[in-house]
Amino acid sequence: MNLPLSFEFFPPKTPEGVAKLRAARQQLYRLKPEFCSVTYGAGGSTSEGTFGAVKEILAEGMTAASHFSCIGATRTRVREQLALLRTMGVKRLVALRGDLPSGYGTGGEFHYASDLVAFIRAETGDAFRIEVACYPEVHPQARSPEADLQAFVTKIRAGANSAITQYFYNPDSYFRFVDDVRKLGLDMPVVAGVMPIVNSTQLMRFSDACGAEIPRWIRLRLQSYGDDGASIKAFGLDVVTRLCEQLRAGGVPGLHFYTMNQSAASVEICRRLLA
């Protein structure tokens, strides 16, 4: 396919989840990803599980990127965790503001992801390749599209190397975002985040929470299938494969799959792209 791939996982909470993720990773490794990333819970609540999964991925011979969120964190704590990640052999981070756990208040010494990026660069130089998030359909908490774009620019100028988008199903939103970024003189890679469609209820819930738009025609089709899981998955594979084909034709520098710790859909989409 000659298109860099990466896969995102979340830290499992049970022994069964750990075993299932190990099996899923082995299937996805066959696609020779550039790296695999592991998410980081609100306020760093999963940091132990995150770093544990990262350590396993490294031991399996793959490049691992640890998500790293800063909201609610102190500089001392971040400094300690950066040192730990360097000791583990991690060379890639996904730097995020992140969310506070409910009832946590507003503590911490970082307010924005750009603060974290600047701190990592000041503390560690070029020890890490830093990815940041971006939102082709605008961050749900942004004051305006212009403010959201400016916040992204600030993260890049603070020292980020590249960006990974929130998932989307309208390729025009991605291409428009990249055009806007290029007009501001930034030329770093903007990798497209891809969410396979395997469960419509889960997808609707995630999308409402993160501000990702599900086009009306997709939403109505998914609703029409009701509890017919096979039809939902078949439709989802067609829709997301077509999206990836359009992104590839438009010159996307890479695809980052939000796997939800499953392999089947991502493997099949990539198989179709190779066909």
Per-residue pLDDT tens for 216-268? 999 999 999 999 999 999 999 999 999 999 999 999 999 999 999 999 999 99
Q: Which pLDDT does position 43 carry in this prediction?
A: 55
pLDDT in tens, 101-128: 555 555 678 889 999 999 999 999 999 9
Question: Which two three-digit tokens encode residue 125?
Answer: 């130089």
At position 171, the amino acid (one-letter code) is: P
Region 184-211: mean pLDDT is 94
Query: How far apart, in whole angstroms, are the C-alpha atoms of residue 206 and residue 171?
Result: 19
pLDDT in tens, 20-73: 999 999 999 999 999 999 998 755 556 788 999 999 999 999 999 999 988 888
If phi > 0 it is left, if psi is from -120 to 50 it is alpha, else beta; for residue 191 that is beta
Region 129-149: mean pLDDT is 95
Query: How far apart, in whole angstroms, are the C-alpha atoms of residue 189 and residue 252?
Result: 8
Q: Which pLDDT does position 103 carry in this prediction?
A: 53
Q: Which pLDDT does position 109 carry in this prediction?
A: 87
Q: Which pLDDT does position 136 carry in this prediction?
A: 97
Q: Which pLDDT does position 72 carry in this prediction?
A: 84
Catalytic residues: 8
**Lowest mean pLDDT: which of 78-82, 207-211, 220-224, 229-233?**
207-211
Instruction: Say if CB 95 and CB 131 are below 8 A apart.
Output: yes
Q: Which long-range contacts (CB under 8 A, 24 or more apart) does 207-212 make?
A: 210/140, 210/166, 211/135, 211/137, 211/138, 211/139, 211/140, 211/166, 212/137, 212/166, 212/167, 212/168, 212/169
Q: Which pLDDT does position 73 carry in this prediction?
A: 87
Instruction: Say if CB 52 and CB 21 are below 8 A apart.
Output: no
Q: Which pLDDT does position 45 carry in this prediction?
A: 57
Q: Which pLDDT does position 42 carry in this prediction?
A: 56
Q: Which pLDDT does position 275 carry in this prediction?
A: 81
Q: Which DSSP symbol is given to 100?
A: P
Claim: this prediction has a pTM higher than 0.85: yes
Domains and CATH numbers, the chain: 5-274 (3.20.20.220)
What is the dihedral angle through the alpha carbons of 124, 253, 137, 8, rounded to the nearest 10 degrees?
-60
pLDDT in tens, 83-106: 999 999 999 999 998 876 555 555
